[in-house]
Amino acid sequence: MTDQDNKVRLELNPELAEKAEYDQMTGCLTLKSFWSLTKTVLDSLDNDRKKDFVFFNIENFKVYNEEFGFDSGNDRICEFALLIVSHFPKRLVARAFGDQFYALVYDDELMLGIDGLNRDFCKKFVEFPSGLKIGIYAVGAELTDPSVACDHARTAGDSIKKQYGALYHVYDSEMDHLISEKRYIIENIDHAIEKGEIVVYYQPVIRTLTNEVCGMEALVRWEDPVKGIIMPNILIETLEDVQMIYKLDSYVIELVCRDYEMARQRNEELVPISVNLSRLDFELCNIFQIVDDTVRRHGVPKNMIHVEITESVFTRDPNFIKKYIREFHEAGYEVWMDDFGSGYSSLNTMKDYDFDVIKIDMLFLRSFNIKAKNIIISIVSMAKRIGIRTLAEGVETPEQMDFLRNAGCEKAQGYLIGRPQPYSITRRDLVNSGYTFEQEQLREYYDNLGLVNLLSNRPLEYDLSRADESDLSSEPMAGGIPIVLFEMVGERLHILQTNRAFRKTMSSIGPFSPRSIEFDMNDRSSDIYRKFRSFLEELREIRGIESFNYIVNGNYCLVRARCTSIIDGRSAYVATIENLSGKREHGDTGKLSEVMPVLCSMFDMITILDPEQNLEEIVYINSYFTLNRDMSVTLTSNLRNFKLHFVHPEDRERFDQTMDFTTLADRVVCSPNGEMDCLFRIRTSEQNYEWKNFTLIAMQKENTTRVLLCIYSAGNVSENPYEEVGIGALKPTVVKNLRDLSKVRRQLELASIRRDAGKKNE
């Protein structure tokens, strides 16, 4: 113990020390005594050693009390007092209120003390992740009133509230300004509300998939005639401090509903508005009732108002807030978690609450390095798995927007799209920048599509109702599966989004880009057009996963898809594509080459007819046909030989008509699905004939059409389905299961009915 250390004590007037009052709980001085003692000390101490008033505070201590009770809270406060005293021995230490302490210390010992204190605090107070906040006021040349000095120290400490990682702050005169600002706010808030100086600014939110405006956030501003615009940060904090925040928030809801009502009267496109609620709103009033009453009074649909609750609200007492979320939900409001990732809640706790959307804190975009990007990707993936949508805040650059879109983050908000502005200006700017507004009926439609995880290995299987534990645990985030999201608007197919694997696969098959694929898919004359459309029809019907394969540039591609949403005139899909032949090239022996001979043996013959060149290219032919067939090069002679060798005499005329190769390609192309099916009796031994299916499929390539002919058994056909209706009924059928003769028959019946009807009309 040095002389200097003792100075404070020694120079104390023993009488005064005797009279001093002590805080019963911690044994520290009371604030009043602290003030009078520090005054004496300051008056009498040597002036060459600088001194500081220091304010200590545990952030969010209140929450601890709520969770663990006051007794336990008091114990922690006592431990905290001991910790301060032990790091600033022999100094005057007082407890002011709750977990707030003051000390008078020498400046040269300050940093060492703070360092040690913080180290111990982090070790012993792990339940307080928001940490310790310290404010410092350096005593100047002129004597300071200790109560003012304490105020300053506290102001400095409070100035780093909610700043993660900030431990201490030194008071400067700027903070005087802050204090007077706060005082001004408290004294004038009621007046400001009355005079209409409190206004709401609106910041747009867009859907990354469509780039359409899908919402706006209401952010409060105080347009003060003297001070100019007072920003929400200081406004909210001050009003929270004095527990008046609910007044402001209630009023903001009122303004939002009024703006909504007026916009509706002007017949403007309307998008949902989200409003911010403070944690204290839940404690100080029945904020749900206030919101609900206001919304009803203005006749605003509940699904047009969302409430944002900041993440820090959820860090501690889950049950407290759960109840309110449920209340809002049951009434039909969406509840969004604001500032996700700014605090300490883990992804795990996310699922304990019933959120519709989480807003990823802008902190992540601000750093925007590999680490931050990975965190965003994880948050988005995890959220999708549990059926929560995501929004990223603070988007300022096109690169950030691209990244978010690719990561599958559904919504974005930030200066890139628009700053908060009064309603009319926000709207005007959006329109001027070419933005359109999402129609109401499309909201759910896109929300469903938005749950598809573009980075997943099992994007199709995802379905909330079926998600079970194994679903959640077994899905690595590889992003290696080629995925495309697209929609049909009327007859037009639009590609909404592709992931990198998709673009890579498509460019390995040919010179395909999402744009060129979109073009081909909408080109009625293209080979794939009709087939793909009927595939989509099937997807819409079954609402499950279906596959579809086709050959492009010699690649066997397998497409698997699911329809995610349907509304009038519109449907959305997610699909994966796999290039099976590509696999073979890459050293995989390939399932396809293995099954190909088996597949072929199901047919009697597979051959490509090229009517334009009058050529035939045989792909596969069974031995019976080979032995008994005179092979030539020209298609004409081949068909004639084939007819004479194999086709039943009664079917030959029909065969000639069907195979008339001057019109064959056109007829096949014009058939439903670009596919034509018919049956012929084919000789299979000297005396025997069997019904065979002839499936003709159009194959278009570079303006020429070739026809793939597959011949295979039709099973047992007891009577001639063509008999009653005759040759005239030789129409292509749309039968899928070619063995299903009853369908063929029904087709033929329909044809004859139609023909009869036609005759009657004549």
Contacts to ligand C2E by CB under 6 A: 203, 219-220, 231-233, 236, 245, 249, 252, 276-278, 310, 338-339, 362, 393-396, 414-415, 420
| SS3 state at 555 | strand
Of 285 and 362, CB closest to Ca ion:
362
203 binds Ca ion (CB under 5 A): no
Find, among 501, 524, 504, the residue nearest to 513 by Cα: 504
The region of 129-137, 308-316, 367-375, 559-567 touching Ca ion under the rule CB under 5 A is 308-316
DSSP codes of every residue in 47-107: TTS-EEEEEEEETTHHHHHHHH-HHHHHHHHHHHHHHHHHHSTTSEEEEEETTEEEEEEEH
8 A C-beta contact, residue 451 and residue 387: yes
CA gap 192, 474 in Å, rounded: 56
Token digits for 96? 């002011």
CA gap 479, 500 in Å, rounded: 8
- Which partner in Ca ion, ligand C2E, none is near 203 (CB below 5 to 8 A by kind)? ligand C2E
Q: Minimum CB separation from ligand C2E for residue 239, in Å?
A: 8
390 binds Ca ion (CB under 5 A): no
- Which partner in Ca ion, ligand C2E, none is near 414 (CB below 5 to 8 A by kind)? ligand C2E
Of 373 and 739, CB closest to ligand C2E:
373
Helices (H), 301-345: 318-331
Q: Minimum CB separation from Ca ion for residue 276, in Å?
A: 5
CA gap 408, 604 in Å, rounded: 48
CA gap 629, 585 in Å, rounded: 35
Q: Minimum CB separation from ligand C2E for residue 435, in Å?
A: 16
**Which position among 151, 158, 334, 339 is part of the footprint of Ca ion (CB under 5 A)?**
339
Give burial (CB, 10 Å; 0-12/13-18/19+) of 36: middle
DSSP state letter for 604: S
- Which partner in Ca ion, ligand C2E, none is near 158 (CB below 5 to 8 A by kind)? none
Beta-bridge partners for 134:
56, 168
Of 207 and 706, CB closest to ligand C2E:
207
Looking only at the bridges linking them, the beta strands covering 212-224 and 273-277 are parallel
CA gap 282, 320 in Å, rounded: 9
249 binds Ca ion (CB under 5 A): no
Give burial (CB, 10 Å; 0-12/13-18/19+) of 110: buried
8 A C-beta contact, residue 674 and residue 530: yes
Q: Minimum CB separation from ligand C2E for residue 508, in Å?
A: 38
Give burial (CB, 10 Å; 0-12/13-18/19+) of 136: buried
- Which partner in ligand C2E, Ca ion, none is near 674 (CB below 5 to 8 A by kind)? none
CA gap 103, 295 in Å, rounded: 50
Given strand 675-683, what is the order of strands in its sheet? Answer: 615-621, 605-610, 704-713, 689-701, 675-683
- Which partner in ligand C2E, Ca ion, none is near 396 (CB below 5 to 8 A by kind)? ligand C2E
**Which position among 26, 57, 159, 276 is part of the footprint of Ca ion (CB under 5 A)?**
276
Name the one residue in this structure whose structure tokens are 């032949």. 581
**Residues whose CB falls within 8 Å of the CB of residue 477, separated by 6 or more in sequence, listed in order:** 377, 378, 381, 455, 456
- Which partner in Ca ion, ligand C2E, none is near 197 (CB below 5 to 8 A by kind)? none
Q: Minimum CB separation from ligand C2E for residue 177, in Å?
A: 18
The region of 128-136, 393-401, 416-424, 659-667 touching Ca ion under the rule CB under 5 A is 393-401
Of 285 and 362, CB closest to ligand C2E:
362
Of 95 and 411, CB closest to Ca ion:
411
Q: Tally Cβ neighbours within 10 Å of residue 421.
A: 18
Of 364 and 445, CB closest to Ca ion:
364
Of 219 and 698, CB closest to ligand C2E:
219
Q: Which helix (H) or strand (E) holds 17?
A: helix 14-19
- Which partner in ligand C2E, Ca ion, none is near 311 (CB below 5 to 8 A by kind)? none
The region of 304-312, 346-354, 501-509, 599-607 touching Ca ion under the rule CB under 5 A is 304-312
Q: Minimum CB separation from ligand C2E for residue 366, in Å?
A: 7
Q: Minimum CB separation from ligand C2E for residue 353, in Å?
A: 18
Looking only at the bridges linking them, the beta strands covering 198-207 and 421-422 are antiparallel
447 binds Ca ion (CB under 5 A): no
| SS3 state at 117 | helix
Token digits for 291? 């919101």
The region of 280-288, 330-338, 695-703, 746-754 touching Ca ion under the rule CB under 5 A is 330-338
**Residues whose CB falls within 8 Å of the CB of residue 35, separated by 6 or more in sequence, listed in order:** 146, 147, 150
Q: Minimum CB separation from ligand C2E for residue 401, in Å?
A: 11
677 binds Ca ion (CB under 5 A): no
Q: Minimum CB separation from Ca ion for residue 316, in Å?
A: 19
CA gap 17, 9 in Å, rounded: 9
- Which partner in Ca ion, ligand C2E, none is near 415 (CB below 5 to 8 A by kind)? ligand C2E
Q: Minimum CB separation from Ca ion for residue 308, in Å?
A: 4
The region of 74-82, 235-243, 332-340, 509-517 touching Ca ion under the rule CB under 5 A is 332-340
334 binds Ca ion (CB under 5 A): no
- Which partner in ligand C2E, Ca ion, none is near 410 (CB below 5 to 8 A by kind)? none
Q: Minimum CB separation from ligand C2E for residue 415, in Å?
A: 4
Q: Minimum CB separation from ligand C2E for residue 252, in Å?
A: 4
Name the one residue in this structure whose structure tokens are 């019963």. 24
**Which position among 237, 249, 308, 327 is part of the footprint of Ca ion (CB under 5 A)?**
308
Token digits for 444? 């759910």
Q: Minimum CB separation from Ca ion for residue 217, in Å?
A: 6
The count of residues interacting with Ca ion (CB under 5 A) is 5
Residues that bind Ca ion in the complex, under the rule CB under 5 A: 276, 308, 338-339, 393
